[in-house]
Amino acid sequence: MKRLFGIDLGGTTVKFSIVDEAGRILDRWAIPTDVSDGGANIPGDIVEHLRAKMSELPEDEVPVAVGIGVPGPIMGDVVERAVNLGWNGMPLGRVVKAELGLPVSLLNDANAAALGEVWMGGDAEGMGGNAVFVTLGTGVGGGIIVGGRIMNGDHGCAGEIGHSPVDASGVRQCGCGKTNCLECYASASGFVKTANQLLARAGSAHAYASGKEVFDDVAAGDPLAIDARDITVEYLAKNLAAIVNTVDPREIIIGGGLSYAGDLLMGPLSERLGKYVFPGIRDRYVLRRAMLGNDAGLLGAAYQALLDLDA
């Protein structure tokens, strides 16, 4: 049975794993991400730790390919840009392949999480079909799978769900440089901002510090918190419906911190999404929470390496 290296490269930690083709994580370890000197040392650190692990293993247990999820757009074996790593045009795939002599697959970290969730988070029958994955955390990330393959796009930017435009009465500045992106409203911070604006309009001196606090009040039946939840769900449902109507997915998967609210989020989202999707799609997809947590990116990176190996 083939084994793959699956790597989740983050701004603070590089997570490594060995994954078999059945999706079992056989080994895992992590190192701090060295972002000094514009991230110039990161490729060498990855190579060093993969080479060390390979030297410890029996020949028949050495992984045959490497998959790496990176926080930025990917074009082939090059990371176009990764702001929190200090990279512009980093040929990461080329470097690792040249040093180790193994095939290397790069993909965006949100896309890796999407692949991992569809591969091992559901019933696995969806791998040949279509899926939409969205994370509601510090920002809003996502991935779109069509025919079992992640959509990367002509410029490495497919699946940037968080930067879809929102038709809102106010104006919020997004970190991408645009205004009123979905991320400004459906991220954890955007959700909290909406709730606090409603509080201020009501003349309350209270302010929420986290999405969990807002959802705690939703659970308690607080009308203002429920309004904040419903406003957020409305924006999210409209943007998701546009994607769902385009790719007709088998699954819509919601991850990130806000997804831990469970039915307090998923129930209203299911109802609103059903209102906006095309009638021929309605009731024919599964809307579910992500299940794999931090393992999703490791598994998805490994799965991409397996796909490319068998292509």
Q: How many CA atoms lie within 13 A of 300 on its CB side?
A: 31
Q: Which residues contact 148 (CB under 8 A, 6 or more apart)?
A: 127, 128, 129, 307
pLDDT at 175: 87
Residue 48: count of CB within 10 angstroms of its CB = 13
Give the domain ranges of the chain.
3-115+294-310, 127-289
Per residue of the chain (311 residues), give pLDDT as tens: 899 999 999 999 999 999 999 999 999 999 999 999 999 999 999 999 999 999 999 999 999 999 999 999 999 999 999 988 999 999 999 999 999 999 999 999 999 999 999 999 876 555 678 999 999 998 999 999 999 899 999 988 899 999 999 999 899 999 889 999 999 999 999 999 999 999 999 999 999 999 999 999 999 999 999 999 999 999 999 999 999 999 999 999 999 999 999 999 999 999 999 999 999 999 999 999 999 998 999 999 999 999 999 77
- The radius of gyration computed from the CA coordinates of the chain, to the nearest angstrom, equals 20
Burial of 303 (0-12, 13-18, 19+ CB in 10 A): buried
- Termini Cα distance of the chain: 17
Query: What is the distance between the alpha carbons of residues 184 and 189, in angstroms, rounded to a whole number?
Result: 8
Tokens found for residue 95: 């470097």
pLDDT at 123: 61
pTM of the complete model = 0.92
CA angle 12, 16, 17 (to 5 degrees): 150
Q: Domain 3-115+294-310 classified CATH 3.90.180.10?
A: no
**Domains 3-115+294-310 and 127-289 agree in fold:** yes
Residue bearing tokens 């080329």: 94
Instruction: Give, in words, the CATH class of 127-289.
Output: alpha beta
Burial of 17 (0-12, 13-18, 19+ CB in 10 A): buried
Helix (H) / strand (E) element for 30: namely: strand 25-32
CA angle 156, 127, 132 (to 5 degrees): 50
